[in-house]
Amino acid sequence: MTEMLSYDFMQRAFVAGIIIAILASVSGTFVVLRRYSMISETLAHSALVGVAVGLVAGFNPLWMAVVFAIISAWLIEYLRTAFTLYSDAVLAILLSGSLAVAVIIVSLGGAFNNSLFSYLFGSILSVSSEDVATIAIFGSISLGALLLFSKEFYFIAYDEEVAKTSGIKVNLLNFLLVSVVAVIIALSIRVVGSLLIGALMIIPTIAALQFRVGFFKTVIISLVFALFSVVAGMTLSFYFSLPSGATIVLCVLFLFTVSLVANRR
Amino acid sequence: MKFIVPIFDIKNLSFVVKGQTILSNISLEIFRSEYIAIIGPNGGGKTTLIRMLLGLEKPTSGEVKIYGKKLSNFKEWYKIGYVGQRASHVDASFPATVLDIVKMGRTSQRSIFGAFSELDNQLVRDAMLKMDILDLKDKMIGTLSGGQRQRVMIARALASKPEILILDEPNTGVDALSQKNFYALLRELNKKEGITIVFITHDIGVIADDIARLFTINQKAVVCNNPKQALSCEEMSELYGIEAHLLHVHKHEH
């Protein structure tokens, strides 16, 4: 453990990973309860378009991922409310559409290499100090927004209509939630990868729900599971030279299975 | 006569969806401390009317005023407690204790940066006490019976200290004793606390003594000012569409 932490890149990866575990699990609770699980998956693919643009055009890929994920989040909310489309179909279209656009941009730009691979599956080697700073700054803002309106998000997740009739600005808060989720996803793809971030958001909450406890305890259990998975996953990634996103997700799945079995009725 | 602004002032309200008229030219007033029951056949537009009062649906034409204001200018939504049709149905795995749910009733009034205040907590406690669910406060909502859930939803509505309680058949799937207690509670809230009650129900016979007026809604609205005679009201057969029903049966026989 001490050997692992003597490397600068591992220190950076751990700081980034721990911030992401907090962000993904707290936002994940609202995402799952709001039935937005598939939205997070779609946003992760849209963030990849930003990464592709960044890699090819020479901008910071992480910043571009944030921008594209937010645009996609707003597009999803707009399409869901403005048209009578099946909302899961809208997500499927945007998900595969984004991936196609990202792959074409990268191919045309000749950047189809390890760098894209690391954004797909996550890589602890690639976390720069600049990334850590970006993750810390945007992460704090996102977490602040989530905590500030947590009671409203919780009420909306439980009963959107009653929340609306009690005077809560439901449409505005829905936009805010998907925007915050978009930012968190974009920040996470460095460490977990765009194909796997959805798992880190959703599975800790689903595992925590198996314990059938109140809201606050559910958030805490989900947070502990995500932190454990990120730390354990990155350690495994370091010692066995595996992509960090995949090892993190396997750790989350392990905890989920244990939760499911332990709470079986 | 003293001029009184009605709580709800509904003028020439119509709702048409995909060429089908759900509500046609409805004008009604609801005054402070009234106990109004709304009856009518399924699909007659009762729920649509309530949804328009709450701003959940926009009328095709006509207007709803609340406390003399247009709905879009109305800000004091905490004055209205709403318990919808699905009150006693919940997602069993939703992570919420009874206390979590009742606290939702205070959410829109809490200060933006603050946690719930002492007053919020006191009102939540009072509402639970009134609904006799204080001993259930740490129980998960998914483990409660239909009657208990119904009381939790009403406690949530009461936690915002509403002046009006709007209930859309919240008693489906609730046992008979719970229903009886529920009607007694509504009577008490109306008589003792002066809360205006708007109640969509099918059990009009049981509450006929409690209510001030009865609205029958079937595309159009008819107001019965003497609810005890409601069941013999001539308009009733018309509103429930007995003629249409007979024709329908007749058609099937051929």
**CB atoms closer than 10 angstroms to residue A261:** 9
pLDDT confidence tier of residue B198, bands split at 50, 70 and 90: very high
A156 vs chain B: nearest CA distance in angstroms? 9
Q: Which residue has the higher pLDDT, B79 or B206?
A: B79
Q: At what angle do helices A8-33 and A170-188 cross, to 10 degrees?
A: 150
Q: At what angle do helices A61-82 and A129-148 cross, to 10 degrees?
A: 30
B107 vs chain A: nearest CA distance in angstroms? 6
pLDDT for B248: 36
How big is the CA angle at B221 (ends B218 and B223), to the nearest 5 degrees?
A: 130
Q: Does B42 touch chain A (CB under 8 A)?
A: no
**CB atoms closer than 10 angstroms to residue A13:** 27
Q: Are B43 and B23 in contact (CB under 8 A)?
A: no
* Distance in angstroms (rounded) separating the CA atoms of residues B168 and A159: 15
Mean pLDDT computed over every residue of chain A = 90
User: In this model, does residue B119 exceed pLDDT 60?
Assistant: yes
Mutate which of B77, B108, B124, B136 to test chain A, going by most A C-beta atoms within 10 A?
Answer: B108
pLDDT for B42: 84
Mutate which of A152, A165, A259 to test chain B, going by most B C-beta atoms within 10 A?
Answer: A165
Rg of the Cα atoms in chain B: 19
Q: Which residues contact B236 (CB under 8 A, 6 or more apart)?
A: B216, B230
Out of A96-100, A190-194, B132-136, which region has the weakest mean confidence (pLDDT)?
A190-194
Question: Scanning the structure block, which residue is given the tokens 């809208």?
Answer: A90
* Distance in angstroms (rounded) separating the CA atoms of residues A212 and A130: 40
Pick from B193, B125, B183: nearest CA to B163: B193
How much is the pTM?
A: 0.87
The class of domain A2-262 in CATH terms is: mainly alpha
Of A165, A209, A213, the CB nearest to B56: A165
Report, as an integer, the average pLDDT of A54-63: 88
ipTM: 0.84
Pick from A26, A40, A202, A188: nearest CA to A122: A188
Report, as an integer, the average pLDDT of A47-67: 90
pLDDT for B11: 92
B177 vs chain A: nearest CA distance in angstroms? 26
Q: Are A154 and A30 in contact (CB under 8 A)?
A: yes
pLDDT confidence tier of residue A25, bands split at 50, 70 and 90: very high
pLDDT tens across B210-229, in order?
888 888 888 877 777 766 66
Residues in chain B within 8 Å Cβ distance of A163: 104, 107-108
Residues in chain B within 8 Å Cβ distance of A213: 95, 140
Question: Scanning the structure block, which residue is given the tokens 């936009």?
Answer: A175
* Binary contact (B55, A166; C-beta < 8 A): no
Torsion sign across C-alpha atoms B86, B87, B89, B90: positive
A155 vs chain B: nearest CA distance in angstroms? 6
**CB atoms closer than 10 angstroms to residue A82:** 8
Q: Which residues lie across from B28 on neighbouring strands?
A: B10
Classify residue A243 by its DSSP letter: -
Q: Does B77 touch chain A (CB under 8 A)?
A: yes
Q: Are A155 and A46 in contact (CB under 8 A)?
A: no
Q: Does B78 touch chain A (CB under 8 A)?
A: yes
Q: Does B71 touch chain A (CB under 8 A)?
A: no
Q: Which residues lie across from B14 on neighbouring strands?
A: B61
> Where do the domains of chain B lie, and which CATH numbers do they carry?
8-253 (3.40.50.300)
Torsion sign across C-alpha atoms A233, A234, A236, A240: positive
Q: Which residues lie across from B37 on neighbouring strands?
A: B199, B214
Q: What is the largest CA-CA distance in chain A?
A: 57
Q: Does B18 touch chain A (CB under 8 A)?
A: no
pLDDT confidence tier of residue B88, bands split at 50, 70 and 90: low
* Binary contact (B138, A161; C-beta < 8 A): no
